[in-house]
Amino acid sequence: MAAKIVIDAIAKSFRKDGMPLPVVGGLSLAVQDGEFIAIVGPSGCGKSTLMRMISGFEQPDTGAVRIDGQVLTRPGPQGIVISQHGSVFPWLTVQENLMFGLNDGERAHKARLADHYAEMVGLKGFENAYPRELSGGMLKRVEIARALMVKPEILYMDEPFSALDALMNLRIRQELLRILQEERHTVILITHDVEEALSLADRIVVLTPRPATIKASFTVAQPHPRKLSDPALQAMKDAILAELGVMA
């Protein structure tokens, strides 16, 4: 089967104080259709830069990113980014926020679709609420619902849950997994949370310090729902932390 996303030896440098600053150093990775990849790496190693290149917001200096065989030169319609910085419009209701990204179709149809996705992420009854009336976790659900509304083939998630408290983080993870069982998406998640990666991903890629390349890769074959107390997952967590240079 052909890979959905092929990252082919991409490298990127910025300039700092007049000197080149290599941030991503010749990184290659193939992501299968429907696969959930988590990327973990040391702080400042180039994860967000990598994500911007994989999602088309930034061009690599050398190498290429291909989606379904096509070189990505700008953000494509097949992918959508959910980041840690919320992007919900405060002046629109939940329903209006969800309808915002849909261009086609009559209003009543879009409203029905918005209500369907609001229910899917546990926001039934809040369709007419404004963002200021919602908690941080609920706002994150609005963002996830809005991303799913446009039926993206690829979900790019850059530390999407890092601003949430631990309990809400856990709930949203479970919801995301449930949704991914109903709707098929290819997902790339950047996270500094190894347990988050272990609970969600099919494969975990560990990056080196800057310039980022792949240091190690772990396949997580355990079915969902996963118990992080599972000895095999604990052993994998220790191995990932060791790769990150952190003693478990």
Ligand X SMILES: Nc1ncnc2c1ncn2[C@@H]1O[C@H](COP(=O)(O)OP(=O)(O)OP(=O)(O)O)[C@@H](O)[C@H]1O
Binding site for ligand X (CB under 6 A): 14, 23, 41, 43-49, 210
Nearest approach in angstroms of CB 23 to ligand X is 4
Q: How many CA atoms lie within 13 A of 10 on its CB side?
A: 29
Measured from the CB atom, is 14 or 89 closer to ligand X? 14
Q: What are phi and psi of 198, to 5 degrees?
A: -65, -30
Q: Please state the closest distance from residue 204 (CB atom) to ligand X, in A.
A: 16
- Contact criterion met (CB below 8 Å) for 54 and 219: no
Strand bridging mode 203-207 / 36-40: parallel
Q: How far is the CB of 123 from ligand X (least distance, A)?
A: 28
Task: Decide whether 32 or 48 has the Cβ nearer to ligand X.
Answer: 48
CA gap 8, 14 in Å, rounded: 19
Which phi and psi (to 5°) does residue 123 adopt?
Answer: -115, 20
Nearer of residues 84 and 174 to ligand X, judged by Cβ: 84
The residue (of 47 and 141) whose beta carbon lies closer to ligand X is: 47
Whole-angstrom distance, CA of residue 234 vs CA of residue 31: 25
CB of 154 to ligand X, least distance (A): 19
HSE value, Cβ hemisphere, 13 Å, CA-based, for 243: 21
> Whose Cβ is closer to ligand X: residue 178's or residue 192's?
192
Measuring CA to CA, how many Å separate 12 from each of 15, 73, 198?
10, 15, 28
Q: How far is the CB of 52 from ligand X (least distance, A)?
A: 8
Element (H, E) at 23: strand 19-31
Q: For residues 29 and 138, which CB has a smaller minimum distance to ligand X in the complex?
A: 29
Nearest approach, Cβ of 18 to ligand X (angstroms)? 12
Per-residue burial over 6-33, b if 16 or more Cβ lie within 10 Å, else e, is bbbebbbbeeeeeeeeebbbbbebebee
Would you give the DSSP letter of residue 212? B
Rounded to a whole number of angstroms, the minimum distance from the CB of residue 58 to ligand X is 8
Q: Judged by CB, which is closer to ligand X: 110, or 210? A: 210
